[in-house]
Structures are given as C-alpha cells and as structure tokens.
Structure 1
Amino acid sequence: MEDSPAAPRPRAAGKVLRALRAHFGSIAGTIILVVVMWRLGTGVFVDGLRRIDGGTLVAAVGIGVLTTVVSAWRWCAVTRALGLRLPLGPAVADYYRALFLNAALPGGVLGDVHRAVRHGQSSGDMGRGVRAVVIERTAGQLVLAVVGVAVLLTMPSPVLEQTRHTAGVLALVTLGATAIWAALRMGREPRPGRGRDGRVRAALTEARGALLNRDSGPAVLISSVVVLAGYVAMFLLAARVAGTSVGPATLVPLALLALIAMSLPLNVGGWGPREGVTAWSFGAAGLGASQGLTVAVVYGVLSFAAALPGALVLVGRWYGSLRARRQSVTTEKYAPKDSTNPSSNSFPFSADANEGRPITPESV
C-alpha cells in the first residue's frame, strides 16, 4: 500500500524526458542566449536595434526576395525530379510562409515541417511531398558546409587555426563513428523483407537521383550558391550597420562560420548559436566580442524583416479560407431542398465538375 503513490512516478519521469527531447533545441538555444547576455550585457542588443534604419530594412527585404525566390526555384527543381508538380508562384508563397514561421516559432524548423506536410497533402503523395522538402533543405545545407569549410580552411582569417584544429577533431570523431557503425552492421544478422535499411537505401537513392540528375542537379547547385551568397550579403550589410570597419575579405569567413552555426538545430527562431559563435569569432579577430554580438543581433532583425512577407501570406490565406467557409454556409442556407432538386436525388455524386479533383498547390 505504501508503494502505490510512487507507481506513477516512472511514467511522469518518462513524460518529462520526452518533453525535454522534443524541446532540446529551443532549450539549448535559450541557454546560449542567456550565457551570452550574462557575459556581454543586454546593452549590446539595444545598441544593435538602434542602428537599424528604414533604408537598411528595405535592403534586407530586397535580399530576402532574391534568396526566397531562388530557394523556391530550387524546391520546384527537386519536386520535378521526384515526379511531382509545383508551380513557382505557389512555391514562393509557401516558402515565405515557412520562413516566417521558422523565425517566429521556437526550433527554427516548424515552418519547413508545415511546408512539407502541406505540399504532401496538396500533391496527393505525402511521402514524396515531404521528402522533396527534406532534400531541398539538405541540398542547401550541403552547399553551405562544403563552401564554408573550404573557405575557412583556405582563406587567411583570424579563426583559421581554430577551424583547422576543429576540423581535424571532427574528422577523427566521424571516422571512429563510421568504423563503429560498420562493425555493428557486419555483426548484425540480415532480416527478411525490406525493413528499415531498405527504406533508408531507397530514400538515399531517390535523393541522389534528385540532386545529381542532369536536369535538376545544375539548378539545385546554382540556386544553392546564389542563396548562400545572399545570406553572406545580408551578414555584410549587418556588419556595416553595426559599424564594423574591416573589409569583406575578413568578414566573409566570419559570416560563413555564423551561418554554419545557424544551421544547427539548437536555436530559438534562429537565435542562439549564431550570437555565441559570432561574438567568439569577432573576439578572436580582434574586433571585440561585443561588436560581434551587435552584428549578430542586427542580422537576426534583418532576417526577420526579410521573412515578414510570409506573415502577409498567412493572413491572406486565412482570410481566403474564412471567406470560402462563409460562402459555403451561405450556399447551403439558400440551396434548394433535396425534394426540389431532382439531379441530387437521381445521382449519389455531385454533378459539379470541380469537386472530386485532387488538391493542387494552386488551391492551397
């Protein structure tokens, strides 16, 4: 009898652990922000906000238009390679909406999750619709990693030695993890059926076909490079607004390092690792950690401003769906009764040619 009150405790502990795993990225990003603010003070954030003017916001929105349209083009190329149809116009609207949700919600990926699910529903193939978004995002991250590591390892910069040391450590860790994984696979007995390994191989084959296809491959590569250049330009704009006096040759490696940190799923709407890494890299460059934090804050605000058209897409589609529901209610209210509508009594299906069609991206 005495042990009965303690029985629910393991279940409650399991719920807490699941919640922590689900929100680990947001928690980690919050901790990083708190540590940075504790070390450098909140005045740096306020100073960064004061430096932003109307002209800077217009420039940021212009850069955002370029990167968003090109990113949507990359998404369309991947989608076509997977055998689905996605026009550029709806793709741009969906991409803007995803960017805004990424910036406004914790985690930094909820907008992409929403975009993937909506595309899967509208295309009639949830699996390939979701995989198209995953492949498109992965392509951008791969180009960022390859270009960023190449620049950080070759261009003279204040973080060159630290980058080479970190790259060596990561290479050793990756090699060891690969060896352990290979040893475990060799000792595992093969299971009948396709199984998880078969699904993973099929997904990798599909991704390789979409990224290395001669029709979609060049478009994915070119668009990813253009998008990366736009992000770097946004960072240089933020550095100029923050009052950094050094040239692009010094700032580009620092920008790529900040972008790589932003790609980590440990942030709150993009905030967290970016501020910590930028403050550290600017301090290592002799420009001051506070200056680096100011640049990161300005970059975060400009990125949010560039994603604001996504809020207009959300409001517009919400108003459109609300208006459609009202029209539907009005039509049902004033529609003829079943007894006075012979066609509806004679046929069990609607005679409206528009009903029964699969949902398309244009109708979302």
Structure 2
Amino acid sequence: MGPARSPWSWVRALGGLAVLGVLVWSVGTGPFLAGLRMIDAPALAAALAVGAVTTVCCAWRWTLVAGGLGVRLPLAAAVAHCYRAVFLNATLPGGVLGDVHRAIRHGRDAGDVARGVRAVVWERAAGQLVQLVIAVGVLAVLPSPVRPYLPVLAAVLAVAGLLLVLLARAAPRSGASRWSRAARAVVTDVRSGLLARRTWLGVVAASVVVVAGHLATFVVAARTAGADAPLSRLVPLALLALLAMGVPANVAGFGPREGVAAWAFAAAGLTAAQGVATATVYGALVLVASLPGAAVLLRRIRAQEAGNCR
C-alpha cells in the first residue's frame, strides 16, 4: 500500500473538479466533446513537433541550472526525464507530480537528492518568471481583458522584485540558525544556478523558446477548434490560459486552464464555449505530445522488473 495522500493534494484535485463542474453547468459538455472531435492529423503532427522542441529546451535549461549547482546531468538523460515528467504532469492530478518525480529521481541518481530537487525548483521558477515577463509585455501591447489592470500588476511585480533583492542583500553571511543556512543556500543557488555568466543567457533563451512553443500549440488548438480571430487577439488569450496552468489545482491538466480560457474568450468578444473547446483541444494536444514520455516510463518499469528478476 502506498503512502496516504496529503489533504492538500485532495484540495487541489477537488478544486480542479469544481472548476470543471462550473464549466459543465455553464456551457454544457458540448464544447468539450466538440473540441475533441475537431482534432485532426495535422494538429497532432504539429503538437508532436512543437512538443519535441519545447521538451529539449526544457531539458537544456535543466542541465544548465543543475550544472550551475554542481550536479551532473547529461542532456540525453534530461530529455528522457522531461518527457516522462510532461506525461505524468498531463495525466495525474495537480500538474506537478511529474516534476517532483524527475527531481527526486535525478537527485538519487546523482547522489544528492536535496540538490537535485533544488535544481528542478529553480529551473521551473526560471521558466515561470520568463513566461510572466513575456505575458506582461505582450498583454501591455495587445488588447486583452486584463489590460486595464496591468499597471497595478506591473507595480506589484516591481515591488516584489525589489523586496527579493533587498532580502538577498540582507541575507546573513554567517550564523548557524536554520534561517541563516536557508537564506545563504537560496542566494548561492540563484547566483550559481541562474545568474552565472555561463548559465543565465541559455536559461532565458530556452525559456523564451518554450513559451513560444506553448503559444504556438495554443494557436493550433484555437484554429482546430474553429476560432478564426486574428493572432493579435488570440495570443493574449493564450497567455492568460497558460498562466492559469501554473495553478496546481487540476485533474489531468484540466481545470483552471479551461475556466480562464472560457472567461477570457467571452471577455474578448468571442464565446465561452469557444474558449472551453480551445483549451480542451490544447490539453489533448499536450497529452499527445507527451506520449514519448509514456514510452520512457514503460522502459524504466521493464528495466526495474528485469533487475528484480535477476
């Protein structure tokens, strides 16, 4: 029997179910089913191709961060780990269990679980930060439902960034307390794992390509679902939906993404049903793009079974 799930994991899953329940109550099951029926071979091929590029870029970003933290991670192994993580993220509740698995697995393989976990945490954080910066910039230029609120958001982000810098400068340089050790570890990790001269440019470049790939997949999903709005209207809506995916309260990836897409499409003059259909197609395309991860997972299971039989 496996370990009991924490109450927070149940809250996350129930949150995703609640969002889906509200959507089904509001627009019915039609948009979900219609979106799935519209998926065709070109959309699947595009998703697989874009998914390969984004997965390799995520793996490269991870190797850079891990290397900065002093943990060896070959690119080929990182790609396999990332494919498996994307598949688990797309099929298990919460949307982050695949990343938890790759962090612990790599840490054990490298002989330092703590450092392996920190490498994944900082790699994910860097990707989310770059995505947030891109989103704020694009949403400030192109029309979107949140454009009137961007000055407040930008001010909040600027204050948060300033506070982080001040906290980093105020971090104690010595001391044996838990806070002192944690603060020094964070500052050291950021400096060596993210901001080092040999690391930061690659991390940013990889993150930009990953965000562009996610946007391209969302646009393919929107076109597949029948949305014919120009890119200047679709891209901001896609960014809002992608930001919603960062909320760890979903069921196999579904939940906040569909809710935000429904609201954003309706607020932009389209329809909530079209937003739900687009987000549903996007989720299906991401799942298809992650299928190589299922092969990686199956190969690992077979290798473990073969080892146990010896």
Q: Scaled by the length of structure 1, what TM-score is found?
A: 0.77
Match of 1:171?
156
Bigger Cα Rg = 1
- Superposed CA offset, 1:36-55 (max 9, x none): 11101001111001000122
Alignment of 1:26 with 2:13, yes or no, is: yes
Matches within 5 A, 1:1-364: 19-161=6-148, 163-164=149-150, 167=153, 171=156, 193-326=176-309, 328=310
Distance 1:44 1:171 in 2: 36
Match of 1:341?
none
Task: Give the drift of 1:166.
Answer: 6.5
Distance 2:145 2:304 in 1: 53
- Superposed CA offset, 1:121-163 (max 9, x none): 00011111111111111110000111111211232334422x4
User: Does the CA-based 8 Å contact 1:159-1:285 persist in structure 2?
Assistant: no
- Superposed CA offset, 1:76-119 (max 9, x none): 11111111111111110111111111111111111111100011
- Superposed CA offset, 1:152-202 (max 9, x none): 1232334422x437727x839x77xx7xxx9xxx9xxxxx73223431332
The amino acid of 1:300's aligned partner reads G
Distance 1:167 1:105 in 2: 31
Secondary structure of the corresponding residue to residue 269 of structure 2: coil
Secondary structure of the corresponding residue to residue 23 of structure 1: helix
Task: Give the drift of 1:56.
Answer: 1.4
The amino acid of 1:317's aligned partner reads R
Distance 1:197 1:28 in 2: 36
- Superposed CA offset, 1:265-299 (max 9, x none): 22222211110111111101111111111101100
Q: Percent identity?
A: 50
Distance 2:251 2:96 in 1: 10
The amino acid of 2:156's aligned partner reads A
Alpha-carbon RMSD across the aligned residues, in angstroms, is 2.5
Stretches of structure 2 that go unaligned for 5 or more consecutive residues are: none
Q: Scaled by the length of structure 2, what TM-score is found?
A: 0.90
The amino acid of 2:199's aligned partner reads S
Higher mean C-alpha deviation, range 50-59 or range 233-242:
50-59
Q: How many residues align?
A: 299
Distance 1:107 1:250 in 2: 29
